[in-house]
Structure 1
Amino acid sequence: MTSLTIDTPDGSGRFDAYLAQPGETPRAAVVVIQEIFGVNAGIRAKCDALARAGYLAVAPDLFWRLEPGVQLDPDVEPEFQRALGLMGRFDQALGVADIEATIRAVRALIGGGKVGVVGYCLGGRLAYMTAARTDVDASVGYYGVGLEGLLGEKHAVAKPLLLHIAGEDHFVGKDAQAAIHAGLDDHPRVTIHDYPGEDHGFAAQGGRRRSEEAARLADERTADFFARHLA
C-alpha cells in the first residue's frame, strides 16, 4: 500500500497521502510535511527512508485544494516559479488542519501509538505550527521560513520540537535567526541546531540544493530525536 486517503476534519473533502510502511510492526509513525514543490520524488524518498528505519511514514498532499498531485522540481526554474505561485495561494491554517487529520489517521493505523512530524521549507514552518496547534508527540522543522513571526505561539508548544537553521539561508536572514534564538533558546521543549555556511534546502534528498555533510548531520540528529521521543 503506497497511498492513503484522508477525510478533512470538517467533512469538506478528502485528500491523498503517500504512505511508506516498514517491513515489521511500526515503532511509531511520522508525517512528512512537503516543501512548496508538493509530494515529489524527494519527499517520497524521505518517507521511504523513515520506513526503512521502522516508522510508518506518510506525506499528505497539502496542495490538494489548489492542484491535487502536484510534483515539482526545484532545479527547474519554471517549476520553481510555479511552486512560489502555489505557496502564495496556500492557506496555512487549513494545511495544519490537514496535517492534524493525517496525524489522527496514522495514529489509528498504528493502534494509538506515537506520531511525529518532520517538515522541510514550507513544511518546516508548518512543523512549528503543528507543534503549537496539535497534540503531535514530537516535531522537527528544517529551515522553516518566518518562524520569528510565530513566536507568539511558543507557549503552546508542549511536546519536543527540534529546529534546523541554515546559517546562510537566503529566505531567513540573520536578524530573523537571531529573533528565533532569542525567542526559543530558553524554551524547555525546543532544541535548535545551526548549520553555519549552509543555505536553504541543504537537506533536500537530492539536487543542487543538497549539502551532503550538513544533510547527514541534520538527519542523524533527527533520527536520534525521534528515537528518544517516539519510543
Structure 2
Amino acid sequence: MAPSEQPTAVVDTAGTVGSRMRALDAALPARDGIAVFNRVYLAVREAAGRHIGAGLFPDARAAAPLDVRCAERYLDAVDAAARGRRPPACWRPLLQFRRHPGVRAPQFALAGLHAHIGHDLALAVVDACRALGCEPADLEDEFDRVGDLLVALEERIREDLMPGPDVLRIADPLTHLLGSWSLERARDATWSAARALWALREVPDVAEEFTERLDAAAGLAGRMMLTPLPD
C-alpha cells in the first residue's frame, strides 16, 4: 500500500493475527526460514499481548495498532508469496532463501527481524496515525515500547538460535555477519523514516518513491544477512 492511500481500519485483533501465525507455524517444516522467524516472533508477540493486558503500555489503543499492523504486513508478504504474487522487496530474500541449506537459523530470524523493523514498522506508524487521527509524535512512547519488544525478539533469537560461546568463535563468519547489524540503529532509522513518510503524505508521488527506496534498502540488507555460510 502506498503511503498516500487511506489505510484500511485497524479491525484485526492481536488474537486474530496470533491465530494466523500459529496456523503458519503448524503448516511449515521446522527448518523453513519463515518458520524459524515465525516461531520466535510468535512467542514474543504473545508476551507483548500479556504486557498490554497487564496495562504496561500507557495507551493500549495506540500500541495495539502498531503491533497488529506490523504483524499484518509480515503475514501479507508470506501470503503473497504463497499465492504467486510479488511480496515487498524487504521480505523477498527470506522467502527466496528460506530452504537454502547453507543459511543458518539465526540468519533467517534476524533477516526477518530486519525486514520487520527496517520497513514494516515505519509504515505501521503511518497506518496507525491515519487510523487514530494523530501525529507520529503522539505515538512516540508506544513506538519506543514496541521497539523494546523487538529488542526482546532479538535477545530471544540470540538465546534460542545462536550457538553457545564455546561454539561461536571469533573466526566464525556468522559472528562477523550478525555483529555487523544493530537493532538500535535500525530502530532510530525507522522512526526517522516514519516521520518523513508522514511529512510527505501530501506529496504522494514522493512518498511512494521514498517507500520504494526504503523497501529496496531493507531487501538489500536482508540479502546480505542471508549469505550462505560454510558449516
Give the structure-2-normalised TM-score.
0.33
Higher strand share: 1
| Structure with the bigger percentage of helix | 2
TM-score by length of 1: 0.33
